[in-house]
Amino acid sequence: MEAHEAHELQEHAEHGAHESALRPVAFTMSVLAVLVAVTTVLGHRTHTQAVITQNKVTDQWNFYQAHKIRSNDTELISDLLSIVSTSNAEKAAKLEKSYADHQAKWTGELKEEQEQAEALEKQVEAAEQRANRFDLGEALLEIALVITSVTLLTRKRAYWFLGLGFGVLGIVSTVLGLLLK
């Protein structure tokens, strides 16, 4: 075997050793990329859920407001009927009773509608908190992926360990997002 062939074999062996030493780094990067994708999808879906629920909150408050206006109008008409003299007292009494019945019904409904709107608002807040956790998890996992990739350029394992640390923080944030209700 000639000297230059021995030197080439030695370089090839060293290159193969570097490649096998970097396999865990490449695998870590692949796992981090998958986790980024999953966390991104979870975040997007949670943001969408928050927007849809916010629309329901708006609709519920509009429904409440419409009933509140109707209730106020009925109260005004009842007040007006009580002070205006009519030629048909029997009909006026029937109208007053009808308006009073409506008023009693709407008073209970208004309370229920308000409670429903407030419950939906809590759902929006919870969805936003979950989405924030997913966003933070996504950012940390992306940082982990970039820092870990620096290991391939520098061949220094410190970047791999630093990337793993950010990855763990990203996973923790994502899991906390999943656990929030």
Model confidence, pTM: 0.73
Angstrom distance (rounded) from CA 67 to CA 152: 65
pLDDT for 3 equals 53
CA angle 107, 55, 37 (to 5 degrees): 145
Residue 44, pLDDT > 70, answer: yes
Residue 15, pLDDT > 60, answer: no
Angstrom distance (rounded) from CA 116 to CA 17: 64
DSSP H helical ranges for the chain = 3-83, 89-154, 157-179
Q: pLDDT category, 99, cuts 50, 70, 90?
A: confident
Kindly state the percentage of the chain with pLDDT values over 90: 56
Residue 17, pLDDT > 80, answer: no
pLDDT for 70 equals 83
Dihedral pair phi/psi, residue 86, rounded to 5° = -120, 160
Residue 177, pLDDT > 90, answer: yes
3-179 architecture in CATH?
Orthogonal Bundle (1.10)
Residue 8, pLDDT > 80, answer: no
Q: pLDDT category, 67, cuts 50, 70, 90?
A: confident
Mean pLDDT of 118-123: 94
